[in-house]
Structure 1
Amino acid sequence: MITCHVRYVIDPKKIVEFERYARMWIPLVEQFGGQHHGYFLPSEGANNIALALFSFPSLADYEKYRLESVNDEACQAAFKYAEQTDCVLSYERSFFRPILSSDTQ
């Protein structure tokens, strides 16, 4: 399993728009075989940082999702919404391999 951590720099005046954008992506990731762990909006501390976590069975499955999402109508609508509202200023992705309680050595 591979977990993608996305760190967003967002416009703090556009939290409502970013939340709408986030809610668009949760079912889309799941539609492409991923498991979304949610978006995390600012609370205390920095008011312009948001996070997302989602997993795919493998990096190859994630790459397949990335390739297929480019041509998906609903994904294109989500990309366009973020661009039109300018709620996402920048983002960076990191990938992690989780250790779960059920894992054995």
Structure 2
Amino acid sequence: MITCYVQYELNPSKTPEFEEYARVWIPLVEKFGGTHHGYYLPHESPNDLAVCLFSFPSLADYEAYRIKSLTDSACQKAYKFAEDTDCIKRYDRHFLRPLEMPS
């Protein structure tokens, strides 16, 4: 399994728009075979920081999702919403693997 950790720099005046964007992406990740672990929004922290985590069975499965998302109409609508509302200033993706516990 591979988990994608995305760190967002938000436009603080557009947090409600980012929340709308995030709500759309949770089922989209799941539509393409991923497991979404949620979005985490600013609270008693910098007002421009948000993160999300989602997992796919493998990096290859994640890559397939990325390719499919480029032509999926719902994904394109979500990308355009973020662009039109300017709710995201930047984002960084990191890929993590879970710690395997000995049996």
- TM over 0.5: same fold? yes
- Aligned mates of 1:19, 1:98 — CA distance in 2: 27
Match of 1:16 in 2: 16
Match of 1:45 in 2: 45
Give ranges in structure 2 of 5+ residues lacking alignment.
Answer: none
Give ranges in structure 1 of 5+ residues lacking alignment.
Answer: none
Give percent identity, aligned residues only: 60
Runs of 4+ in 1 over 6 A off after TM superposition: none
* Secondary structure at 2:44 match in 1: coil
Q: How many correspondences in the alignment?
A: 103
Please show how residues 1-105 of structure 1 align to structure 2 within 5 Å.
1-99=1-99, 103-104=101-102
Give how far 1:48 is off: 0.2
* One-letter amino acid of the counterpart of residue 45, structure 1: S
- Aligned mates of 2:102, 2:71 — CA distance in 1: 38
- Aligned mates of 2:81, 2:35 — CA distance in 1: 22
- Aligned mates of 1:104, 1:73 — CA distance in 2: 43
Give how far 1:45 is off: 1.7
* One-letter amino acid of the counterpart of residue 46, structure 2: A
- Aligned mates of 1:99, 1:34 — CA distance in 2: 19
* One-letter amino acid of the counterpart of residue 6, structure 2: V
Give how far 1:104 is off: 3.7
